[in-house]
Amino acid sequence: MSELSTTTLFDKPDAKLGSQVHAAATIVDGLQINNWDRNVLEELRAGGISGVNATCAVWEGPADTLKAIGDWYQLAAKNPDLMVLAQTSEEIRQAKIDQRIAVLLGFQNTSSFGDDFRMVEVFHRLGVKVAQLTYNIQNLVGGACYEPEDSGLTRFGRTIVSEMNRVGMLIDLSHVGNRTSLDAVEASVAPIAITHSNPTWFVENPRNKPDEVIRAVTDAGGMLGCCLYPLVIGGKKTTLDQFCQMIARLVDELGPERVGLGSDCTRNWDTEYVGYLRNGRWQAEGETKATWPEWPEWFVGPEDFPRLTDGLLKVGLDETTVRGVLGENWLNLFDDVFTGREV
Amino acid sequence: MSELSTTTLFDKPDAKLGSQVHAAATIVDGLQINNWDRNVLEELRAGGISGVNATCAVWEGPADTLKAIGDWYQLAAKNPDLMVLAQTSEEIRQAKIDQRIAVLLGFQNTSSFGDDFRMVEVFHRLGVKVAQLTYNIQNLVGGACYEPEDSGLTRFGRTIVSEMNRVGMLIDLSHVGNRTSLDAVEASVAPIAITHSNPTWFVENPRNKPDEVIRAVTDAGGMLGCCLYPLVIGGKKTTLDQFCQMIARLVDELGPERVGLGSDCTRNWDTEYVGYLRNGRWQAEGETKATWPEWPEWFVGPEDFPRLTDGLLKVGLDETTVRGVLGENWLNLFDDVFTGREV
């Protein structure tokens, strides 16, 4: 990473251009995992966000996932001025016009399907448009980024990929193991996304992806959503300029339409939830209690999206490319994948 | 396998000795997966069986397993003259005196634990004394005999093994993958069983076990339960003599106390159930409908256990060894494992 100071974020020679581009773009965040309420929705609106893949299940099985989705329906019913549950790119574009947030429900695991491939269509009909194949540890579908061994995509995993292709649910590889990721790209007849990770050449970390995996995904028409979670950017000291330089290099290497954002915002949670994310129910909590990391001062939540627009322009990306990265690339991918496939 | 004719089963020069040994032995079957009712229990009593590891879950998750266990409590309540739900070897010995069947509840999968290691103690308290780590396909715990790739024992799998050791639940590797099996033997601080498989040198089949796995299990104080399911004995044409010669060789190679029986009886099911066993909910049923295999004429169900006693004596095993294989070895293993371990 370059050694530019964080103070660059406060120099805004193109502030006006930044505002214009930000206002014109349809901004879509590839992943947020907030504890959602009206305040959080207002943070997204303040950030100019029109669409978001909102995680509604991580370790949950089918029954608990139904409850979580029921909570989402309640939130939407109570905040119609601020949000709408959406299933298409068109609804996200409309949400921008209406100044609302279009929420696509998403899973960060396939535990919600239990052991039953039929649950893919069930949850798709309930509004789930994105599902990550595995979360941190081995599951019925395949290996994960923190599991020492990666089984590859299992036989059940192949059934799930095929069923997701059929109904038009976007496959996400962010927390998936590398071997399973490569298997999934090969097995899928639709493009695949990494909604919230960075390249390992930016920060070496099990949650980030080697070139081989990123290339496999983008060569097959998929996308990488660059992630702001402190762990995967190298901690809070990493600068906005460094983050945007990474994006510029990815745009150069992969093509402007293959790169997006997936902030991984974790707003409004208490520390208990980070323990749940780490341990689920598969192990007892360790002696050191898990805590949330500190975010960089230039990005603490959805309200800071305009800074990303400024930063991307500042590293020299043109307006069309910036609009693509900010969300329009996601819209194109959704249009492509959500139609479903014959399998 | 040797080429002896099946007609040897009808020659019973030692029929009287066979009856005496059979009557004296405490007979324990390492696994049966019947559709249990009063008639099936009577078949076991006719076969002289005093204890059995009875499968009560294969693909079921926690909630469905609770229902299955509820059904068992009902069966026990309605047939107190024929059966008792048991948790110790002592209860099996008492059941022999009372001419009842002592049923140990068992799982052929760890799906009943869901993703929660705490469920091991929960189900143990409900009477589950044996659990196979995986059933045919990859699960959260590890790889399985019909999954092309074997992840080995996962991180969750290590938690489960440790918890089973702690509460005193016997680990079963019958349908488990070889790599996961070796990992489990290494991870476990208590002996482990293969309740119902044969060596691959007898019949080459994914459900049978290579010497390396059998040796690892028995060297660590565990046991192999020799299995009568047609698939793993080479089909219905295999003779009683061939089966008993296999046992004699295993007794010779592994020691007389390391070998038992796990018939895998599948009484009273319709053909739909074999489809469920094959496909669970992880794939759609294929074009060819699964059907039950034909059993050899010398062993079609629990009533035929006396023939095994005759066969084992006929291949030259001494009375003590035969009694061990028929059930007393299981009793000793249960005594050892069911006490639990400090982990």
Q: Does A111 touch chain B (CB under 8 A)?
A: yes
pLDDT tens by residue, B43-70:
999 999 999 999 999 999 999 999 999 9
Measuring CA to CA, which residue among A120, A109, A124, A102 is closest to residue A53? A102
Are A114 and B61 a contacting pair at CB < 8 A?
yes
Q: Does B206 touch chain A (CB under 8 A)?
A: no
Which residues of chain A neighbour B152 with C-beta distances below 8 Å?
A: 149
Which residues of chain B neighbour A183 with C-beta distances below 8 Å?
A: none
**How far apart are the C-alpha atoms of B226 and B259, rounded to whole Å?**
7
Residue pair B107/B64 in contact by the 8 Å Cβ criterion: no
Are A281 and B117 a contacting pair at CB < 8 A?
yes
State the Cα angle at A292 between A53 and A210, rounded to 5°: 60
Domains and CATH numbers, chain B: 6-337 (3.20.20.140)
* pTM > 0.80: yes or no: yes
Chain B contact probe: residue of A59, A133, A136, A138 with most B CBs at under 10 A: A138
Residue A2 is predicted with a pLDDT of 42
Residue B206 is predicted with a pLDDT of 98
Q: Cα-flanking dihedrals φ and ψ of residue A132, to 5°?
A: -80, 140
Are A140 and B143 a contacting pair at CB < 8 A?
no
Tokens found for residue A54:
């909102």
**How far apart are the C-alpha atoms of A88 and A325, rounded to whole Å?**
18
Q: What is the DSSP letter of A32?
A: E
Residue pair B168/B341 in contact by the 8 Å Cβ criterion: yes
Q: What is the DSSP letter of A324?
A: I
Q: Does B280 touch chain A (CB under 8 A)?
A: yes
Residue pair B221/B336 in contact by the 8 Å Cβ criterion: yes
Q: Does B276 touch chain A (CB under 8 A)?
A: no
Per-residue pLDDT of chain B (343 residues; tens, 9 = 90+): 444 444 444 455 567 899 999 999 999 999 999 999 999 999 999 999 999 999 999 999 999 999 999 999 999 999 999 999 999 999 999 999 999 999 999 999 999 999 999 999 999 999 999 999 999 999 999 999 999 999 999 999 999 999 999 999 999 999 999 999 999 999 999 999 999 999 999 999 999 999 999 999 999 999 999 999 999 999 999 999 999 999 999 999 999 999 999 999 999 999 999 999 999 999 998 877 899 999 999 999 999 999 999 999 999 999 999 999 999 999 999 999 999 999 9
Q: Does B135 touch chain A (CB under 8 A)?
A: no
pLDDT tens by residue, A219-239:
999 999 999 999 999 999 999
Are B115 and A159 a contacting pair at CB < 8 A?
no
Q: Does B149 touch chain A (CB under 8 A)?
A: yes
Q: Does B156 touch chain A (CB under 8 A)?
A: yes
**How far apart are the C-alpha atoms of A139 and A141, rounded to whole Å?**
5
Which residues pair with residue B194 across a beta bridge?
B224
Residue A216 is predicted with a pLDDT of 98
Low-confidence stretches of chain A (pLDDT < 50) are 1-10
Are B281 and A154 a contacting pair at CB < 8 A?
no
Q: What is the DSSP letter of A10?
A: G
**How far apart are the C-alpha atoms of A62 and A128, rounded to whole Å?**
13
Contacts of B65 (CB under 8 A, 6+ apart): B56, B57, B107, B112, B123
Chain B contact probe: residue of A59, A149, A178 with most B CBs at under 10 A: A149
The nearest CA of chain B is from the CA of A66 a distance in Å of 16
Chain A contact probe: residue of B135, B149, B159 with most A CBs at under 10 A: B149
Residue pair A240/A1 in contact by the 8 Å Cβ criterion: no
Are A147 and B151 a contacting pair at CB < 8 A?
yes
Q: Does A60 touch chain B (CB under 8 A)?
A: no
Tokens found for residue A37:
């309420």
Residue A13 is predicted with a pLDDT of 52
**How far apart are the C-alpha atoms of A231 and B6, rounded to whole Å?**
68
Query: DSSP letter string over B38-64?
Result: HHHHHHHHHTTEEEEEEEEESS--HHH
The nearest CA of chain A is from the CA of B141 a distance in Å of 8
Angle between helix axes A15-24 and A305-314 (nearest 10 degrees) is 120
Q: Does A63 touch chain B (CB under 8 A)?
A: yes
Chain B contact probe: residue of A113, A151, A162 with most B CBs at under 10 A: A151
Nearest CA in chain B to A138: B140
